[in-house]
Amino acid sequence: MENYHVYNPLDSMAESRGGDAALSILRQVFGYPFFRGDQEAVIAHLVAGGDALVLMPTGGGKSLCFQIPALLRPGLAVVVSPLIALMRDQVSALRQLGIAAAALHSNMAPGEAGAVMRQVDDAQLNLLYVSPERLLAAHTLEWLARKPLALLAIDEAHCVSQWGHDFRSEYLGLGVLREHFPGVPRVALTATADPPTRLEIVRRLNLDDARLFIGGFDRPNIRYRITIKQHPHEQLLAFMQSEHVGNAGIVYRLSRKSVEETAAWLVKRGIAALPYHAGMEGAVRQRNQDRFLAEEGIVMVATIAFGMGIDKPDVRFVAHLDLPKSVESYYQETGRAGRDGLPADAFMTYGMEDVVMLRRFIENSQAEEEFRRVEHHKLEALLGLCESVECRRGILLRHLGETMEEPCGNCDTCLEPVPTWDGTEEARQALSCIYRTGQRFGVNYLVDVLRGEKSERVLSNQHHTLQLFGLGRDRSVASWRSVFRQLVAWGLAKVDVTGYGGLILAESCRPVLRGERMVRFRLDPDEAQKPRRERRERTGKERSLRDSEGSKGDGSLMSALKATRTHLAREQQVPPFIIFQDATLQGMLDSRPVTLADMERIPGVGSRKLERYGEIFLGVLRSGKPYPS
Ligand code: ADP
Ligand code: ZN
């Protein structure tokens, strides 16, 4: 058994010598020089005894928000977590830092659970991770109510929301924590941004007095790229070979069958790919997930059943070979790339066949009409993202309620201009058409009016008498539909989800209507196919060229560092990233520490890891050979 330090808040205060106790823990224990985003404010609020709801993107650093207060406040911090794999990794990571942490869930041998409970009784733990059903068992609640608690953290708090795809019924009971543990600060954390989910979390968890911390949702290290689907397997392979040799990644597919096919296809080409979907035998699925976490460079081909609780920080790419369900799911799924903050890619191929399939899916579903309509709108918005000529990140963030001042410079549309056409006049016509028909109608109707179709509905509404009736008869239906989709995608028009789903004008369309703003539309994919293909090849080459520049020889040293990490991880039966993350290894490569003091300055090297691994990694850097040599 290793030797953990049970943090005593008074020690921490004394160690910081009147300075900032939280900052000194961040530096000494975690080895990071600065707080990110809202971390510092959340920590101060919790340490002072307040409740909080923390919304931060994946990789934003939510864990520190409760882990540091857990060390600063007297008593035990209880962390509710929905998945055993998640608890296991967090506990391992904390123990690596020398922090006394353990997990308690319903899937443990009685002896094992008993040992953890004794540690709690003896005040030998700073953090206890617990599954919701275990926590809510009457005997656990009574037992913990007799302990001094530092705080209660509810991780992945969106699991309480019935709207979300990660709903867990056991989370619903967590509202009772307020009455069982009065006076103990409670913090709920999630990466899910949308306001309805947020409200539901507050309501169901009884967090009315919680302070809300909303971080920015941008993930600047993720490069977004969306291309037309031609030969998806070959396109994926080319992308992986040019930019992600040996990297871990996730490939999402819509159906179980295509998951199996794609995994098999990749394996034939020498890629370490594994399948994952809900139809697989439980044990096999679990083994594949464990291998993905424990080994380097595995590519997981999966349905969306795979995702929540994948805390692996070094997933270097997420590829969608089929359209995701919505912009929100695209953001969530791609968000699993690059949690460590290093460059990562989101790659998608989409084609008309996906659109047709998804529409059928929605139409054939048993759901209420209202629900289906919402699903259709979500799809339209997603198509808007796919077809846009604007910065992809800007569109994504707008969906999450954020605005971006400048194009990001790190997505395909920013990096390679898209063929476009001047649609200033068409945009005005389309917007006027929405306005003149009373902001009540959907795209099909609006296109009918613009193209001068004397349909029954048009006639009965007298819209054939409008000045703009038939003004756009020279443009195809498909092209007009694309115009409307792009107007929605850019926020110039909106879908009225409160009414019948017609289009309405957005405030921002005024300059377009007044002719003060130019509008350029993305050219329809099939018209532009050829030139796009050429450009894609060129960019692939440029990027791999750029990536290899200035890193000659680093490749083999990085391999030696990674091999060392893997060796240490195997010895202790933890995933390699628990030893050191890629970002920390990259830090070693960049700054080439010679002494332990140099090593300590690298982000991710706290005092405990310095003690255990410092010499070993200095040796690898000196010799260029993996440990043990
Ligand atoms: P989340 O739970 O929000 O997805 P994590 O808590 O897992 O994010 O943190 C994501 C990554 O960022 C982890 O690798 C973590 O070690 C790192 N990290 C968190 N806070 C900081 C910080 N202040 N400085 C540097 N790295 C940090
Ligand atoms: Zn961009």
Among the listed residues 337, 232, 317, 273, the one whose alpha carbon sits nearest the alpha carbon of residue 543: 317
Bridge partners of residue 344, in order along the sequence: 222
Please give the torsion angle defined by the CA atoms of residues 571, 574, 575 and 577, in that order, rounded to the nearest 10 degrees: -90
Shortest-distance Cα residue to atom 20 of ligand 1: 61
Ligand 1 pocket, mutate which of 99, 339, 584 (most atoms under 8 A from CB): 339
In the structure, what pLDDT confidence band is assigned to residue 110 with cuts at 50, 70 and 90?
A: confident
Interval between CA 546 and ligand 1 midpoint (Å): 28
| pLDDT single digits (tens) 206-256 | 999 999 999 888 999 999 999 877 799 999 999 999 999 999 999 999 999
**What pLDDT sits at residue 460?**
95
* pLDDT, tens only, 315-338: 999 999 999 988 988 998 999 999
What domains lie within the chain, and their CATH numbers? 9-214 (3.40.50.300), 222-415 (3.40.50.300), 420-522 (1.10.10.10), 551-623 (1.10.150.80)
82 C-alpha to center of ligand 1: Å?
19
Q: Give Cα separations from 605 to 168, 240, 314 (angstroms).
A: 36, 31, 17
* Average pLDDT across the chain, whole number: 88
CB-based contact 313:274 (threshold 8 Å): no
User: What's the 481 CA to ligand 2 centre distance in angstroms?
Assistant: 24
pLDDT reading at 536 higher than 60: no
Residues with Cβ within 6 A of ligand 1?
Answer: 32, 34-36, 39, 56, 58-64, 311, 313, 339-340, 581, 603
Once rounded to an integer, what is the mean pLDDT over residues 441-447?
Answer: 90
When pLDDT is averaged across residues 290-294 and rounded to a whole number, the result is 90
Confidence at residue 547, expressed as pLDDT on a 0 to 100 scale: 42
Query: Which of 27, 28, 30 has most ligand 1 atoms within 8 Å of CB, for mutation?
Result: 30
Specify the pTM. Answer: 0.77
Which tokens belong to 350?
């989409």
Task: Report pLDDT digits (tens) over 138-170.
Answer: 999 999 999 999 999 999 999 998 766 678 889
Task: Calculate how far, in angstroms, residue 7's C-alpha sits from the geometric centre of ligand 1.
Answer: 21
Among all ligands shown, which has an atom nearest to the Cα of 580?
1
Which residue's alpha carbon is at the smallest distance from atom 25 of ligand 1?
Answer: 32
Segment 93-97 shows an average pLDDT of: 96
Answer yes or no: is pLDDT of 593 > 50: yes
Please name the residues in contact with 236: beta carbons below 8 A apart, sequence gap of 6 or more: 251, 262, 266, 319, 321, 347, 349
**Ligand 1 atom 5 nearest Cα:** 61
Q: Which ligand is nearest to the CA of 94?
A: 1
Predicted local distance difference test score (pLDDT) of residue 11: 62
Distance 303 CA to ligand 2 centre (A): 27
Q: For residues 614 and 596, is the Cβ–Cβ distance under 8 A?
A: yes
Looking at the CA of residue 63, tell me the nearest atom of ligand 1.
6
Q: How confident is the model at residue 189 (pLDDT cuts 50, 70, 90)?
A: very high
- Cβ atoms of 602 and 593 closer than 8 Å: yes
